[in-house]
Structure 1
Amino acid sequence: MANTIKVTAADRTLYHVAAAHLGDATQWWRIAQLNGLTDPDLSAFATPVPLVIPATDSSLASGVPGVAA
């Protein structure tokens, strides 16, 4: 089930968000894809921006598609 959170520049990067919410920083691309982002840098977000966080996917062992841990 997807969650929505608000992020700002204080959250630093999607790597940090993925680590905190998905338990795997390498899954940052899933958050980016779901929210139409291409850059993991959040420094441009001065005001809170909502992001949809995907459900945890344990089938992505390393977080990167096609790469096994």
Structure 2
Amino acid sequence: MPTTIRVTASDTSLYHVAARQLGDATQWWRIARLNGMADPDLSGFTTPVALLLPAPDTSQDSGVPGVTS
């Protein structure tokens, strides 16, 4: 079951949120996907916005699925 948190521009990006909440900054895309977002930048949030967080998943490889370097 997803958890809900509130974020603002001071949280900077979904990278920071993922590092703090999921223990892995590269899992920012999981938060974005769950919330219908495509951009990890939170600088446009002027008031607190509720975000759903996925459950931590240590089986996830680092990085965004389907994207190779």
Q: TM-score, normalised by structure 1?
A: 0.88
Moved over 2 A (4+): 63-67
- 1:36 is matched with 36
Distance in 1 of aligned mates of 2:65 and 2:47: 32
- 1:18 is matched with 18
Q: CA-atom RMSD, angstroms?
A: 1.5
**How many residues are paired up?**
67
Structure 2 spans left out of the alignment, 5+ residues: none
Structure 1 spans left out of the alignment, 5+ residues: none
Percent identical across equivalent pairs?
70
Q: TM-score, normalised by structure 2?
A: 0.88
Deviations 1:10-47 (A, max 9, x none): 00000000000000000000000000000000000000
